[in-house]
Amino acid sequence: MKESIHEERKTEDMTAKERFESAKEIYASYGVDVEAAIEKCMEAPVALHCWQGDDVTGFDHDGPLTGGIQTTGNYPGKAKTPEELMQDMDKALSLMPGKKKLNLHACYAIFEPGEFVDRDRIEPKHFAKWVAFAKERNMGIDFNPTFFSHDKVKDGLTLSSPDEGTRKFWIDHGKACIRISQYFAEETGVPCVMNIWTGDGYKDIPADRMGPRMRYKEAIEEILSEPFDRDKVKPCVESKVFGIGVEAYTVGSAEFTLSFAATHEGCLPLMDNGHYHPTEVVSDKIPALLCFYPEIALHITRPIRWDSDHVVLFDDETKEMAKEIVRCDGLDRVYMALDYFDASINRVSAWAMGFRSWQKALLTAMCTPNEALKKLQDENRMTELMVEQEAVKTLPFGDVWNEYCQRCGVPSDREFYAEVKKYEDEVQLKRNA
């Protein structure tokens, strides 16, 4: 017992650098090159969603959220202007290690004083300030047409509406977003992932399931007929199992979006891990899709019983998704983006926590002896595989993570909240004064 206590105190007296060097040696005994993992993780881009900072409000409407989306909570300090949102995002970025992209929704267009155009007529110039923001921070930009929270959503439908005028408005919106995505890619030099998602569906059992999907298919095809450079713009279709007010039927189901992407060249499937039945896991779907698609896209959230968009944590499924991307050699084939919104806690902290959690998951996956574990499986040494998989779980990853944060110039886990609280007191709370 005395020797055990002595060893614990000795460990406590070690510096962070010494602990990291010790951790490196332990990982090396498993065949893991920690230095290579750190360098690799630093270069894996992850898109940060702008809509966490203002509860998915945007700047082109004053009405409530619609389309199956709901944000809960009323934590003080919400950003209400483009300047405040960018200021908050800057603070969050300073707390995040790794390489970032910016992910925008079309409703975040920035108009000049006295100017307004509807979503079917937005232009690249309405996002010029976002481009300047991204270029100054060496970030690419991803984009999302906004098919919700608008009075042209008729009877809960957009691209699948039986009303031709409604469909045309939203098709024109999608085409405008294609042009804006091309602009983003040309300005930043980074491909733009443009994701098409709608909340179209019905609250109760429909009489016609195929009709809305045929209209949806034809509408997306018309959007994608807009000319664009396929090396610069990566259009995606995102599925969903249900939403608030559309519990019985959603037009863009998993089967629909996967089939559409498979049959339309250059269109990617996008999986949001909150958009499936509770017993389904996206970690298992990632390697399945990578068998067939050259590229896929991923929206990372934390569902609790349903698509509740909780802040991403370093939990089991988050780790499994990252593990599958890494061990399938998919970092260059999977476009990764965060997607959640929590208005019940500090929004800068929510941004930072979610991004840091995904970075932890990626780095953990890169510090896993994947090839050695695969070999055990292929040789049917399943008992040994189980033993090794369990042993890997208790490797000293925390010391590697702290070193990673230090090299990226961001605070450690125990330090970053102090930065959030200081910013809240000095900036965010004064907005409500």
Nearest CA to 266 out of 217, 239, 233 is that of 233
Q: Number of helices and strands (H, E) in the chain?
A: 15, 10
d(CA 325, CA 333): 9
d(CA 265, CA 286): 19
Q: Which of 91, 217, 299, 319 is catalytic?
A: 299
d(CA 298, CA 236): 10
Known catalytic residue at 142: no
Known catalytic residue at 150: no
For 201, phi then psi, to 5°, come to 170, -170
Q: Which of 24, 275, 285, 319 is catalytic?
A: 275
Q: Which of 55, 339, 342, 399 is catalytic?
A: 339
Q: Which of 51, 197, 358, 401 is catalytic?
A: 197
Known catalytic residue at 49: no
Q: Which of 60, 272, 399, 424 is catalytic?
A: 272
* Number of C-beta neighbours around residue 373 at 10 A: 17
Q: Which of 238, 295, 324, 403 is catalytic?
A: 238
d(CA 218, CA 167): 10
Is residue 199 within 8 Å of residue 67, measured between CB atoms? yes
Nearest CA to 401 out of 416, 415, 412, 414 is that of 412
d(CA 240, CA 196): 12
Q: What single-letter DSSP state applies at residue 391?
A: H
Known catalytic residue at 307: yes
Known catalytic residue at 231: no
Nearest CA to 153 out of 238, 267, 251 is that of 251
Is residue 366 within 8 Å of residue 74, measured between CB atoms? no
Please, which residues have CB within 8 angstroms of residue 120's CB and are 6 or more apart in sequence? 169, 170, 172, 173, 176
Residue reference for tokens 């590229």: 295
Known catalytic residue at 155: no
Q: Classify residue 91 as left (phi > 0), alpha (psi -120 to 50) or beta.
A: alpha
Known catalytic residue at 240: yes
Q: Which of 240, 319, 323, 360 is catalytic?
A: 240
Q: Which of 187, 226, 307, 320 is catalytic?
A: 307
Query: Which residues participate in catalysis according to the annotation?
Result: 197, 238, 240, 272, 275, 299, 307, 309, 339
